Amino acid sequence: MREKSSPAMDTAVMPSQLAGHAHTIQLIAYALIIIVIFAGDQITKNMVQKWIPRGMVVPVISGFFNIIHTENTGIAFSLFAGASPSWKMVLLIAVSLALLVAVLIVALKSREMKWETGVGLALILGGASSNLLDRIRFGQVVDFLDVYYRSYHWPTFNLADSAIVVGAGLLILELLISK
């Protein structure tokens, strides 16, 4: 005797299909994070370039936070800013591109990534790709966020730098928690 199957059972989603859909949704969420960070960074840098003359300081929170238009030809925290321009830009672009490709490969090959890892990698990819585009197009990156307390100043940074730091922090957090 053959058991009748209901239409609901015929269209039931198998656990492997569910996992595939969940993975696809995760990848879409990570892609959206990358796009939001990339676009947000490009938009804010463009606004600073258009509305704030280079070197001008706009106080936001007195004694703690300013917006200032600076241009960084180096890497994070202006490292290598004074190095010879002939080799520096090619090296910075090549290293940035290689690291972006490596992070992208790791992200795409990881089927069971924890959310901290996925979001962390997406933040890093969004920020690094925006800064890389600026280096390729302009040979420099616009920095404008100036955080300080009295005479102690954190190096000026931008939204992309913030995303990279938060992304790296999430990766470190995930490593510490998983042990």
Known catalytic residues are 143, 161
Question: What 3 state SS string does 11-73 have?
Answer: CCCCHHHHHHHHHHHHHHHHHHHHHHHHHHHHHHHHHHHHHCCCCCEEEEECCCEEEEEEEEC
Q: In what order do the strands lie in the sheet with 152-153?
A: 57-61, 65-72, 141-149, 152-153
Cβ contacts of 165-169, under 8 Å, gap ≥ 24: 166/120, 166/123, 167/119, 167/120, 167/121, 167/122, 167/123, 167/124, 167/127, 168/120, 168/124, 169/120
Instruction: Give the whole-angstrom CA distance, residue 155 versus residue 150.
Output: 14
167 in Cβ contact with 120 (< 8 Å):
yes
